[in-house]
Chains A and B, each alone.
Chain A
Amino acid sequence: MSPRSRKSEGERLRIRDRLVRVRELPLLRGVGVRDELARLQQQIERADAEPSEDEIWRAVELARHQERPYTLDYVERLFDDFVELHGDRHLGDDQALVCGLGRFRGQSVALIGHQKGRDIHERARRNFGMAYPEGYRKGIRVMELAHRHGFPLITLVDTPGAFPGVAAEQHGQGGWIARSQLVMARLGVPSVACVIGEGGSGGAVAIALADRVLMQENAIYSVISPEGCAAILWRDAGQAKKAAAAFRPTATHCLELGVVDTVVAEPAGGAHTDHDGAARLLGNALADALADAAGLDVSERRDKRRAKFRAMGTFTE
């Protein structure tokens, strides 16, 4: 159903209200009323099947929830040992992107993940999970390391976007996002990406060109932030809710469109309510995906990865 015909919250309430009133008319059990009842019931069912603006916005809020587990929360729970690696060997060490090597379910793996901060100091240090080119360059270094040593690569995506600042631009933000994707496209080792919070635009996709792409139930993945989209298309950042409803950045929608392979369940109420439970579910899904992606030779894997991304997008001919 198109967003044009999707019922707004207010409209749904009005239909419900009318349904209740029609049901309460005891003296008018004629055919006309029964038809009206069936029609209203049908309308409600159809509207219920479509996520409402509010439901979609709830996913946006959950994806950004302050208590939502971040990359290091999962690393702590899923890795037997983890050695964080620092620096891009060029200019700096971007703490918005955590990189390292560790043991995951009996095998050595490389990990790259965005890291937001929990308190104000950590947030400043981690730049709210918005990486500079230095971060993506550090990631590339670790990808190449993984390739050399045959470590499967796990990436965890959780960023509002790549940092939109003067220095980031001067250091070549666009170019390094592109090169990060290119290195992932060429990797000889299995790779799994999971969107664990906000999958914000280019800054997210920079580390998400993987053999398997997963997404947590309450994560979002989008071409632009709802606020940014609203500012451009509606000329009003306040219309973010409307924008989110129009492009539906939810996990189920991404699955429907074939952008992600699997939606990873979260504990009831969302990952923020139970970090251990969320980590268990994520760990199982990552292990399954890695097993899935294993066992191909290097060129087969690359061809398959290429074919996977080639298939994305719609057009007519």
Chain B
Amino acid sequence: MSSRIDVSVEQGGSGGAASGDKPKGKRHPNTCPSCESHYRDDELAAAHGVCRQCGHHFALRARDRVAQLADAGSFTEVDADLRSADPLSFFDLRAYVDRIAEAETATDLGDAIISGSARIERRPCHLAVMDFAFMGGSMGGVVGEKLWRACEHAAEQQVPLVCVTASGGARMQEGILSLMQMPKTVCAIDMLRESRCAFIPVMTHPTTAGVLASFASLGDVTISEPGALLAFTGPRVVQQTIKGENLPDDFGLAESNVRLGHLDAIVNRSDLRAYVGRLLAIFGLSDEDARAPAEPA
């Protein structure tokens, strides 16, 4: 059990439920949940959030992901001004508007996804990246609309869409309208397919529920990172369904998904850029750029 990575989704990985044998209290975000190695910020940043000791992939913030994946300076963000509305005037223990404001301040993002044109290994694409730190990467009206527009941009530019997902699912605070982002994003992918552009989802930890059950699962080629939880229903809820029985150790993880045929490949973060670059090359061979000589680094 101790080798099992932390897969608790709702609380942004605060340990607890999935690992009963761990000491109580919040683990420092720079401490590896898998082997307890601890890193300074700069060490972790230099390693793109991969544990040197055990290879655990820490969560990557959206902008860091762009820096890791896209060619330097190639990312041009679009649709940055979209902000969530509060269609239900939702209030649970706190007001939704307060939660959004707090998330914006804490993450320096407008919502749980950023989107823009980019180049990966010199290949043009449209790149959308979700950020789990913004309200669990939850999909509300803004994520749905930005994903729609990302598909539109990709179709207009005739480039593949690469989407790095990290989400707990639909955003409850927008009620039924957030559920409707599922059919909305599915229609967007349908449109993308019709315009013959490739869709390459990179599912990172965690990609669950409404996001897994909509656009994220509709890739032409679908890849993931090691140890990522990819499940419609997370282990905590499934554990309640099966009561006494034990969940398989790799339940819902990328490793079991690839074994069961739901995923094309698990790619280490350090190899991700090259891997996506190869895919883009295959999908975009007619592109002039593909034949251009490599620029000096």
Binding site for B on A (CB under 8 A): 1-4, 162, 164-166, 168-175, 177-179, 181-182, 185-186, 201-202, 205-206, 208-209, 221-224, 229, 232-234, 243, 246-249, 253-254, 257, 259, 302, 305-306, 309-310, 312-317
Question: Which residue, A186, A305, A312, A317, has most C-beta atoms of chain B within 10 A?
Answer: A312
Using Cβ atoms and an 8 Å threshold, which residues of chain B touch A305?
Answer: 187
Question: Which chain B residues lie closer than 8 Å to A247 at the CB level?
Answer: 88, 90, 172, 175-176
* Residue in A171, A208, A232 whose CB lies within 8 Å of B172: A232
The answer to whether B95 touches A313 (Cβ under 8 A) is no
Cβ A3 vs Cβ B89 within 8 A: yes
Q: Are B142 and A315 in contact (CB under 8 A)?
A: yes
Whole-angstrom distance between the alpha carbons of A26 and B242 in the complex?
Answer: 65
Tell me the bound Cα distance from A201 to B184 in angstroms: 14
Min C-beta distance of A153 to chain B, whole Å: 15
Which residue of B83, B183, B186, B238 contacts A164 across the interface (Cβ within 8 Å)?
B238
B91, A2: Cβ atoms closer than 8 Å: yes
Chain A residue nearest in CB terms to B189: A182
Query: In the complex, which of the residues A166, A174, A229, A249 contacts B213, with contact meaning CB atoms closer than 8 Å?
Result: A174
Interface flag for B190 (CB, 8 Å):
yes
Interchain CB contact (< 8 A) of B184 among A1, A182, A223, A313: A313
Residues of A within 8 A of B180 (CB): 205, 259, 309, 312-313
8 Å CB contact of A313 from B178, B186, B230, B233: B178
Partner pick for B251 among A166, A172, A208, A312, CB 8 A cutoff: A166
B89-A166 in contact (CB<8A) = no
9 nearest CB pairs, A to B: A313-B141, A2-B89, A174-B212, A174-B232, A164-B233, A314-B85, A247-B175, A178-B217, A312-B180
Could you tell me the distance between the alpha carbons of A221 and B213 in the complex, rounded to whole angstroms?
Answer: 17
If A173-B232, A177-B232, A179-B217 touch, whether A164 touches B237 (CB-CB below 8 Å) is yes
27 A–B contacts from the bound complex (CB under 8 Å):
A2-B89, A4-B89, A4-B95, A168-B232, A169-B231, A172-B260, A173-B213, A174-B217, A174-B230, A177-B217, A178-B215, A181-B214, A182-B190, A185-B190, A186-B190, A201-B170, A202-B232, A205-B179, A221-B176, A223-B175, A223-B178, A247-B176, A257-B177, A306-B190, A309-B184, A313-B174, A313-B180
